[in-house]
A and B are shown apart, each in its own frame.
Chain A
Amino acid sequence: MSELIFKNVSAGYNGNTVLKNVNFSADKGRITALIGPNGAGKSTILKTAAGFIKPLEGSVYIRDRDIVSYSAKELYGIISVMMTDRVKTKYTTGFDVVRVGRYRFTGIFGGLSDEDRRVIRECMELIGVWELREKDFSTLSDGQKQRVLLARAIVSEPQILIMDEPASFLDIGRKIEFFEVLTGLVKEKNITVLISMHEAGLVKKTAHRVICISSSGEIDAMGEANELIRPEYMEQLFGIEKGRFEEYYG
């Protein structure tokens, strides 16, 4: 079942078209990864899917309804977003960060019900960050921070999770850890994930489906990760000299 569908979507900023005529869908319980060179428009797809920018042409359907027909409240009851903005805080604990994700459920002054506490704890335990609940967020390692932010993204009990390169500045060990957690999460919660990523090797292991965006802002290919993540194709997509991809990643 497709939870998120792009139909003939063109999108961009200030009238400049970045994406041209994009068609794809993302299915429930599966991880759909966007790959492609920097500047190709992966973030633009994510922002359009998240409702941050309106498509210039075409439509985005969330659960068979046009995204523009949703109110912000309805839309963000279904979608949860994990973008790249860094959190700048000093005296905010891991728990505080995750708690804010419960925004739409909490009381007028942000008070938590027992149900809120239960869900926060469940999500933090699922992601393995419950023991970071009393630590100041600013003192956590990058890997821990990203996992706390992942917990924050799922405490709102979303159906669709949209993530923009969540692991790009982590070291390889933390990257693997992060994607393992994400894979486990999708299995457990049966949610739809649309994610942009850079790590070709990890895409293979993590994503059920890959959508390749070329530097001209169009979909170049899509399909199973194992079929697409091949040296020859990667070289073509990223504009690498022949044989070079194999040399470094093989």
Chain B
Amino acid sequence: MYKHRKNIILFAGLFIVILALVIINILSGSAGIGLKDIAEILLNGGRGSVNGRIILDIRLPRILEAMILGGALALSGYMLQTFFLNPIAGPYILGISSGAKLFVAVLMVCALKTGFAMNSMMLVTAAFIGSLIATGFVLAVSVRVSSMSILIVCGVMVGYICSAITDFIVTFADDSNIVNLHNWSLGTFSAAGWNDAKIYIPVVVTGFLAALFMSKTMEAYCFGESYAGSLGINTYRFRMILIIISSILSASVTAFAGPVSFVGIAMPHVARNLFRSEKPLVIIPASFLFGSAFCLFCDLIARSIFSPTELSISTVTAVFGAPIVISMMIGRRNGNV
């Protein structure tokens, strides 16, 4: 019972932090808009004024995107970690995000060259195919090597190869849109719009609910594949569903915000350590919320620290996320799994 109360307090704390970050994000930006004006815009809807459009069509969709996609990324990482039964795994570090990036870049360049209209659904589909191919490669390697560190090195290499090809494509696609394409390929929430939200919200909500419904099996699976089998779980089918949902989640992030580093690997770790729990039913929502808060925080820094110049989101997430991953690895070396 004591544990339940502790979890409720922690979740409440997380919500407060996210709320605070949302407010700071609405307030900050190159156009200084006061709290009073913002309240009025939000209450009365004020697309008529410039400030109204800045708040409603630029800042709010961007906040929503950072929140939802950040959470999706952390959840995707958590599911990958469950899949490999190893906390050092994530869609970015295993090259899965880069596979998605490559396919989206190809689609974008084709669309620019031939002039056909591209929609959000096509972006997500391309990203999903790319991430499945990269995942397939990682799985093919994982049946040959048992060491997670070799697997991660392979993932990083795949990431480099995909990024190199993406850079190549982007460099030769001469068009005025190239600036956007270039920014996107480094990772950014700056292109967020309401139309994209219509696609990623249902996708992420479905993925989140699916993860919750799998939480009981995930918990059993964490005690080992053969043990899960001895509980009557079809482990092959379970692992397939797990990796597909994880790929859909990370693909939807890459489709709209480009590759975002370190959220997927680091946030589940933070969630486990703060909640001092490994129960999927707790860690799934906790990872999601940590991912949301972390991306809101990093996006705030990315767009305001050198304003009006924006940093790519991955630059900022790496600065905060990489040390967490390093400390995780040292912790594991010392025997604290």
List chain A positions with a Cβ less than 8 A from chain B.
50, 52, 71-73, 75-77, 79-81, 83, 85, 87-92, 96-97, 100-101, 103-104, 106, 108-110, 138, 156
Contacts and interface: CB of A to CB of B under 8 A. Distances in A.
B182 interface: no
B272 interface: yes
B328 to A, nearest CB: 11
B277 A81 contact: no
B216 A91 contact: no
A90 B230 contact: no
Nearest to B231: A103
Contacts of B212: 109
Interface in B212-239: 212-213, 215-216, 219-220, 222-224, 226-227, 229-234
A75 B232 contact: yes
A100 B219 contact: yes
Given A87-B223, A100-B220, A100-B231, 10 more contacts: A75-B232, A79-B230, A85-B226, A88-B337, A90-B336, A91-B276, A96-B278, A101-B231, A103-B232, A138-B337
B278 A76 contact: no
A75 B231 CA distance: 9
B53 interface: no
B281 interface: yes
A213 B275 CA distance: 49
Contacts of A96: 278-279
22 contacts: A72-B229, A72-B232, A80-B230, A83-B230, A85-B223, A85-B226, A85-B227, A87-B223, A89-B278, A90-B272, A90-B337, A91-B272, A91-B275, A91-B276, A96-B278, A103-B220, A104-B231, A108-B213, A109-B212, A109-B281, A110-B281, A156-B231
Q: Please indicate which of the listed interface residues B219, B227, B275, B337 has the most CB atoms of chain A within 10 Å of its own CB.
A: B227
B337 A89 contact: yes
B278 A52 contact: no
A174 B230 CA distance: 26
A51 to B, nearest CB: 8
Nearest to A152: B223
B226 A91 contact: no
Contacts of B234: 72
A85 B231 contact: no
A73 B234 CA distance: 10
Interface in B53-79: none
B225 to A, nearest CB: 8
Contacts of A52: 226, 229-230
Interface in B231-282: 231-234, 272, 275-279, 281
Contacts of B336: 90
Contacts of A85: 223-224, 226-227
7 A-B pairs closest in CB distance: A110-B216, A81-B230, A76-B232, A85-B224, A72-B232, A103-B231, A73-B232
A109 B229 CA distance: 18
Among A81, A87, A104, A110, the one with the most B-chain Cβ atoms within 10 Å of its Cβ is A110
Contact of B215 (A90, A100, A109, A156): A109
Nearest to A100: B220
Contacts of B232: 71-73, 75-77, 103-104
Contacts of A76: 230-232
B224 A90 contact: no
